[in-house]
Structure 1
Amino acid sequence: MKLLIVDDEVIIRTGLSTVIPWSEYGYELLRPAASAEEAIARLESERPDIVLTDIQMTGLNGFDLAREVKRLLPSTEVIILTGYDQFEYARRAITEGVSDYLLKTSRPDEIMGAVGAARERIVMRGESGNRDELREKLIETLIQGGEVDYTTMRQSLRLLPRLRMDTASRYVVCCIGATGWGTENGYGKLLLFAAHNVIDELVEGEAALREDHILLILPLMKGEQDSLIKLEAMLQRIEIKLKCKLHVAIGEEVGGLDELKHSINSALHTFLYQGLLPEVRMIDSRAVSRRKGSRRACTPWEKERLGELLVDGDAQALHLWLDGIVKEMESDEETTPESYQAYLNSVLQAGEEAIRRLLQEAGAESPEAIKAQPISLKLAAENGGEEMLSRMLELLKHYLTASGHHSMPPMNRAIAYIHEHLEEDLSLSLVAKRVQLTLHHFSEVFRRETGHTYAEFVAKARVEKAMELLKETDASFSEIASRVGYGDVEFFSGLFENHTGFTPWEYRRRG
């Protein structure tokens, strides 16, 4: 333990250095300093643990020195010596972070007592720091599923008393998230840190702060049925205190600390439901474990409708439609985070495929930017719907740029529209109006550029689509006829045979 004596009077310096046998009490006495300036210059190189200094000195005074000591060596203890027994000196000593305040007339044993008390405070701080470090390591061992041997159990009893190992019959792990302060400027992490501190202080159990959530190990007492009810009430108080919203996922109950990993895994998986159940504060793993998962891919009809909206280029209409199918999926009581993620990615993939097809039909190149980046499970759980909407609108923007959209040649736009609306009315007048040409002019230009009359082209496109559906789906002939714009199955069959030489049944049978 290093001690530095500072005084501008040589007699005082010498007396304090020699009257008390510092080395016999375990102190390393540094060379005394004749001024605050000299002491400050030596602080970082010699790093004293205790500074014993006069107040009134030539140049900087003892308070100036104390301020610099606290800035450069925050853990160093400062003891002030003065010849004036005045309250103002004592008050200022406290504000400057001085550890003790002694009169120069104090006896050696009183000075030794003050220095000894300072050493004790340093030792206690070190033990406290070691204790906190050991406690954190112990919690980490439990969370990571490390072996809970006899030593770990003994340490847990002493360092983690709130786990109540001597009386708890079971344990449950809760995964807690916090929102409400925004995410800019690190406010999200700051809120989580604040929530952890309050939970650690008020809630029974041991809490560990992770990157984007808090893990709370909660002991369950035999005969007590309301531990989780108490937790919810406490979390409501914390929400009011911090002006935030807390989301809690409750893992499966386990019989001992050696089984905590199982409870943690179920809590973390249940935590993924926060985006699907945003209004539920506490989600119990038992309530969602029975979900089987909803459909993981968009339907052929959804793919067709998505293609229509993309070719129209109406961002608002696209947004409204996507928002509708996302809400439908979120409200399905069988939806799981995994099936939700798969569905969102299937919609994005369908969007990419539709855009590439439209550009190919229009004779335009597909830029590298037109690629549907998959949404991760974590992102899907947090805000998957909004993320999918954002990425799809970005794809639309790239498509409009690559295609030139309304600057695309009218016949290319007409052909793209026909392929995306085969099941609808495709009268010559409707499509001519769509590309803003007169009926007569559109008919002439269309025949010249495609080599077919408008009616021949539409019939051919519908038959080709029907051929695709006959090969790739098990849909009935009447359903396929409807999906390519024919309500009369007999008329459709005749038209199909005229174009292909086979009836729909024969074509499907040929494979």
Structure 2
Amino acid sequence: MFRMMIVDDEPLVRKGIATSIDWQEHGIEIVAEAGNGKDALQRLQSLPVDLVLADIRMPVMTGIEMSEQIKERYPDTAIVLLSGYEDFGYAKAALQIGIQNYLLKPASAEKLISVIVEIRDKKRQERQSLKQEMSRTRIFNENLPFLKYKLMSSLLKGELGAAEIEEKSRTLQIDLQGPEYHILLLDIDDFWLFSEKQSQKQNEAFTFAVFNIAEETLLSYFSGFVCYGELNRLVALVSSHKIHSLLAVCQEIQANVKRHLKLSVTIGIGQSCSSLADIRRSYQEAVQALKEKVYRGKGQVFLFAANQRQDVFDGERSAPFTAEEKTMVRHLKLMDEKELLQSIRQYFLRFASENIPFVEVKHACVRLVFLFIQELEEIGSPKDVVFGPQFIPHVAIERFEVVADLEAWLARMAAKLVRHIEENHRNTFKRTVKEAIRYMEGHYDQPISLTEVSDHVNVTPAYFSKLFKEEMGITFVKWLNRLRVEKAKALLKETSLKTYEIAEKVGYYDYKYFSNTFRKYTGVSPRDYRNR
């Protein structure tokens, strides 16, 4: 309801205004009356209204004086003033304080309703517009981290042209003018360890706090933006051609995180590039730079150096597989848990016999875990299933202080991995057929074929035909015909469509073939089925 207050020093006038018009019919409610401007202001303190309808000439406080106070204290409250012809001076004063709605007495009911309804509608529109704007702002702010992530992802994939980059960065209020760009990656050290002891909400709060510190510190010196990456990682794109300044700011971020959150962060910096089209290279270099943490410890800033790439950054991936690793991968592929665990035992026995430094043992285990993860990826299974949602190989392995504990953990992970791969093989057949059925149920109204469906599930037509028959006990063609006939039966009973129209809606473009198929599966023609 639109709330209104009537202010006039004559009770009969107030009563006449209140009762001579059916205000409820217009969505307006008279919630208060006052005999002068002072009384009206007192009532407004505890009873806010949308509109004040007042006489200009009143004792104690005039309508003009009251309006000035209302304008100052309650700027959203509308005011309509009433006065006689002889009050031109008052009318001029009303206009001077911004009151546009000024009616001469005696004002007809129609005129009064027209003016107030117009104000009511304008107020509603303003409130709706404000509500929509607030909603858009809220939604934008809530989605801002995701929008930044999407922008970063698109930049790294090279999906955006210069015009699109400018438009998106302007929308997100990000300055990407250059002239040079760096990618920074920030890892929260030991995140996996302390996150086990806290709730998801607490972990998210810590990550959010690190994000705020990194963003506020970086953007105090450089233009660019920060977004969330994977797990405990933040990704920053900054514009800077002074590498020494960038290193100093990164150290400031580390100091701020340490001081406020008692956490350590490691930062990797890619080399500069002069175009956003090359930003992926800087990102990959930052990834490589972060790998130095495995060798040189946490809480440092690592700047990528091209001449160190082979020796430091790519060591764990670029070296050829050892015979031991090949053997373990083969046992994993064959799902031979016993032999895999025995190979791991021999792996660690060699470490002990050769007195391999523990840091090298950890490095070898990180490499082995990456190989295990690659096997998971080859069967389309995320590493989270076996290793957990917040698993980072070097962080998980770094927590172990003795070789025996590390071996026991690796053996448990390997056994779990074997069991998962075995289960995956058992479910692959069912998933393939289930996806094929889902596809057919979504496309039965189209002329789909065995080849089309087998292509959709990424198997050969012959293999799919055999697999479908084994799983469903019926051929692909018969199952599809049965599905279409069931859909046709429903349309025959529930709609008034002609039978040839129904035939087309369920994927038959030859009416005679549809009729014969329908009769084959139901024993009657489509027309007889509808009429019975």
TM-score over 0.5 for the alignment?
A: no
- TM-score normalised according to structure 1 size: 0.42
**TM-score normalised by length of structure 2:** 0.40
